[in-house]
Amino acid sequence: MDAMKAPPVVTPADWEAARQQLLVREKELTRARDALAARRRRMPWLAVDKDYGFDGPAGTASLLDLFEGRRQLVVYRAFFEPGVTGWPDHACVGCSMMADQVAHLAHLNARDTTLVFASRAPQPDVARLKARMGWTMPWYTITDQFDADFGVGEWHGTNSFIRDDDGKVFRTYFVNNRGDEALGGTWSYLDITALGRQEAWEDSPDGYPQAQPYAWWNWHDEYGRGKPPMAE
């Protein structure tokens, strides 16, 4: 600490003044982040025309199966496979930190959104890793060119998808590198989806599903059991 050039020590009044000055910039950042998410909701959609296959705990699955019947899907490509540092005991360090940050999935699911991880490790290894690390997210095994086709063949990344009522799947967003590091919380994942948080304050295209803030929020073990406690 003695060698560190620390900021000055000030009075409570000066500290609060400095905090208020910084708060102005922080609110600018919040508004800019909201505006960026609004632009994501207006990104064009890319039709997924190839049939992709995965192995899962219940057997083979298609990309559409990964949605688990929900409208939106977020897929994080984790590196857990031969040749990756940590194999076979661990996934890569960065991907493991990502997995540790994932919030309870019930809140995403309540917004009609499914989050899954995918890697090339066989399912028995995936099950062993999840048990060791206490992870509960769905985790599938890539069996074809999905990773190469979606920009995650050699590096981690997160893809967002949406499906229509006929089961047609579209790619809506992709983020990797440092863009991934902020992910993990419910809001951060919803902000990279085509429908966003689906709350009334958001700047979304006409007809997008929206609800009042707090109106849909619930305890993670109470979704589907009745009206949320703060619903109007």
- Per-residue pLDDT tens over the stretch 175-191: 999 988 889 999 999 99
Mean pLDDT over 30-58 rounds to 97
- Per-residue pLDDT tens over the stretch 137-171: 999 999 999 999 999 999 999 999 999 999 999 99
Return the percentage of the chain with pLDDT > 90, whole number.
91
pTM, full prediction: 0.95
Q: Which residues contact 189 (CB under 8 A, 6 or more apart)?
A: 74, 108, 113, 115, 183
Q: How far apart are CA 5 and CA 203, in angstroms?
A: 43
Task: Identify any residues that bridge with 76 across adjacent strands, giving them in sequence order.
Answer: 117, 158
220 CB-side CA count, 13 A = 8
Of residues 118 and 1, more confidence is placed in 118
Which residue's entry shows tokens 């994942």? 189
CATH node for 44-190: 3.40.30.10
Q: How far apart are CA 179 and CA 143, in angstroms?
A: 26
Mean pLDDT over 16-41 rounds to 98
- Sequence ranges of the domains in the chain: 44-190
